[in-house]
Amino acid sequence: MKKKILVPTLLFSVVVILSSFALTKPAMNDEDINDSSNVVSIPSNIVLFYGIGCPFCEQVDEYIDEKDIEEQVSFERKEVYYNRENADELTLVARVCELPTNNIGVPFLWDGENCYVGMPEIVSFFDQKVIDNNNE
């Protein structure tokens, strides 16, 4: 009878311990942002944050290619799924825009002052930027 209780209890304990390690991710807090040793800073240029494998990011890329946006608008791309520094920068930028930082999605565009989230907003931004650049 004790074995019937002991084995599931041990298995449950192992799962709980492993889950806590896997799910524990140190969140960036205000102290991290204000720490002078932290290399993450708010970019002043246009940055497109994306994630490898993100289908909406791929749609934005297709739009950028089809419309030759990179030839008309200067911007930087930063991958956030596999690059922690870029992910931290995205979090910092989202805070500047007063967006909730616990569930930031990509594609995400920062123009140096404003945040644009999702394909429709990003496409509209680039369309307007192209028009503005052509009128200069």
Q: Does domain 28-135 have CATH number 3.10.20.30?
A: no
Question: What's the CA gap between 22 and 132, in Å, rounded?
Answer: 47
Q: Which of helix, strand or coil describes residue 1? A: coil
Q: Which of helix, strand or coil describes residue 118? A: coil
96-135 pLDDT, tens digit each: 999 998 889 999 999 999 999 999 999 999 999 999 988 8
pTM over 0.85: no
Q: Which of helix, strand or coil describes residue 97? A: coil
Find out whether 112 and 83 touch, Cβ atoms under 8 Å: no
Domain ranges of the chain: 28-135
76 phi, psi to nearest 5 deg = -115, 145
The residue ranking higher by pLDDT, 133 or 17, is: 133
